[in-house]
Amino acid sequence: MGNKKNYAYTQNRELSWLRFNERVLEEAGDGNVPLLERFKFVSIFTSNLDEFYMIRCGSLYDISILEEDYIDSKSGMSAQEQLQAIYRTTKKLYLLRDSIYKNLRQELKPFVHRVSMRSLSVKEQQRAKQYFDNDVLPLLSPQVIDIHHPFPHLANKALYVMVRLKTKNRELYGLVPVPQSVDRCYFLSEDQRRLVLLEDLISAHLKELFTGYEIDFHTVIAVTRNADINLNAAEIDDDEDYREQMKNILKKRRRMAPIRLELFRHSDKAFVSYICRQLHLSEEQVFLSKTPLDLSYVFSLARPRGGNLQPFLYPSFHPQPSRDLRLDRPIMDQLLHKDALLFYPYESIDPFLQLLKEASRDKDVVSIKITVYRLAKNSKIIRHLVAAAENGKEVTVLMELRARFDEQNNISYAELLENSGCTVLYGIENYKVHSKLCLITRKKKNQLQYFTQIGTGNYNEKTSEQYTDYSYLTAREGIGIDAVNFFQNMAIGQLQGTYEHLLVAPHTLKTQVLAMIDTEIEKARNQQPAEILMKLNSLTDRKIIDRLQEASSAGVQIRLIIRGICCLLPGIPGYTEHVEVHSIVGRYLEHARVYCFGSGPYQRIFISSADMMTRNTEKRVEVACPIYEERLKQRILSDLRIMWSDNVKARRLQSDGSYARLPQSGERIDSQDQLMRTAILAAEDASRKQSEEKESLWERVHHRLFSQKK
């Protein structure tokens, strides 16, 4: 891996991710996107970047200190070189965000306008002052920083108004935490069209907070801290409760080292120098933003406040009824006759929720087993599992407590499940359980029936309306037996289990994917049609990348739909001429993972929880499931063809790592819009067939009754 040739067709994962987030920001600048949705994209870009700094930059920061000889396998860069490249790129993205945000503010003016305190009328200033005195001032805790009041701990991503103070004798700094218990937006009138941000309101009253001082300079700051703490079970004391130890580990995150400092609007060289010394940061880790540092308030602006918001939002769409499953009939009985596939958010999660509800009440169901990574608040899924346990079913939940930033939520649910009589397992040491697998076992007439659900996304009702994911439901005995073995293996920490149908990481998934790539290579070398089509969130696994490069060189046609990171560069002469990569960023977060190998009747198709990242293929428990029914295979291929044809929201990855829009030579195709319309038509068609069935049934009954009367 040491020579430059190895890096000819690969790029750094962190810089690739920043390009993905730039595509998110481009949605905010797209005039074809509704105005408030564009505003949301600025907020999504910002929160994405926050998490990137907390996790990825935090990890690189640690590596730069602890592993001096570390070299990135895709770019040959050291950890410090990567950090410096990230800082340079980030500064450009801040400028782009500022420009887009400024334009959006102007376009939003007729609807809602963030104003400065200086622009308020006398009456508005009086009302703002009254609000400040009554609702804000009692919650503030201003402090000076001096020998008796040392520099305080600044909470991760919390907002502070920081001031430089002067008296006749000295110069010092002061700090005002912006309270989180008060609304960020203070609306100046009942129509709620003009607002002041809380930090601006506090900044306008600094003289009252620091009496006896001259306010020399002030700004709003936010510190981003390294949140990449190691949550492996190796840190857990065997003598103490795992959940309690996890709670203690999470407390460490709040005090981790600073990795970034942001200033809002105003900067000053002496101030930056001072705070960098206090936080042990270099000045390249300081970023000046003309956009508010916390944009989460943007989502509240999209809630009804009087007036019609719909012109500023995406056209209303609700997940459609499944074309495969009817809610007015038992789901398990339907699955005994055919497999079913749900495609969120185009189709509703309700059939799966109905399946769990049925299972919790069915007297013949003996057990429900499920893996859990992320859950919705007030989860219906948890409600059905609790009901099942209370109804005497054996309920086993493999709960991953190490799901980043969802740890506390999962701890709370784990306690609830245990208190309800469920068996809760906590994963495997050093391996996160990221698979999405649910198994319902029913014993009828002394025969076991297995109902298995395998998904590409979490068991989360909220994100099922925001993320695109497949959910496969089947009563196939072979897949059910594999699921039985999977849960038995997980219960004893066995990662080397063998399965007839499922591909399970870390043991078999990667080796089988490599083997299927090899099969296509062999076909190409024998002058046979050879194709690989994959839909992923990220591609970073070096072994997979190298094998795809080998396949391209052999003549295999490789099409990749990758939303985020792609470390494989296409179109590199001598390496990747037969690779093409598209990325779709739009209304919904593209999240489904699909692997397709070959073409025609022998094509193999899998849906999976795993991206082609080393963390997924080698360090997590993941599941990929084959799709056998030809009807469902063709449906998935049809969906992928629509995505590949997208020339509105898709971008094509260039050989230099940049992305370019696809040419719109013919029909404009927005794949997500087309898939919504397809779901509506399929639901209407299914509804029409159901009506015809009912009508036909009524006619048969009527005919029978009429015949009996005769």
DSSP for 372-428, please give it: ES---TT-HHHHHHHHHHHTT-EEEEEE-TTSTT-HHHHHHHHHHHHHTT-EEE--B
**287: helix, strand or coil:** strand
What pLDDT score does 2 carry? 42
Calpha distance 591→570 (Å, rounded): 22
Asked if 467 and 589 count as a contact pair (C-beta separation under 8 A), the reply is yes
Calpha distance 349→675 (Å, rounded): 16
Q: What is the pLDDT of residues 73-94, one digit of tens each?
A: 999 999 999 999 999 999 999 9
The segments of the chain whose pLDDT lies below 70 read 1-5, 229-255, 304-308, 403, 694-710
Active site residues: 434
What pLDDT score does 246 carry? 58
Q: How many helices (H) and strands (E) does the chain have?
A: 20, 27
Asked if 561 and 532 count as a contact pair (C-beta separation under 8 A), the reply is no
Collect all residues with Cβ–Cβ distance below 8 Å to 168 and sequence separation of at least 6. none
What pLDDT score does 462 carry? 94
pTM of model > 0.75: yes
Residues forming a β-bridge with 187:
195
Calpha distance 706→13 (Å, rounded): 73
Asked if 531 and 580 count as a contact pair (C-beta separation under 8 A), the reply is no
What pLDDT score does 220 carry? 97
What pLDDT score does 247 carry? 62
What pLDDT score does 341 carry? 98
Q: What is the pLDDT of residues 582-623, one digit of tens each?
A: 999 999 999 999 999 999 888 999 999 999 999 999 999 999
228 alpha carbon, distance to own chain's centre: 17
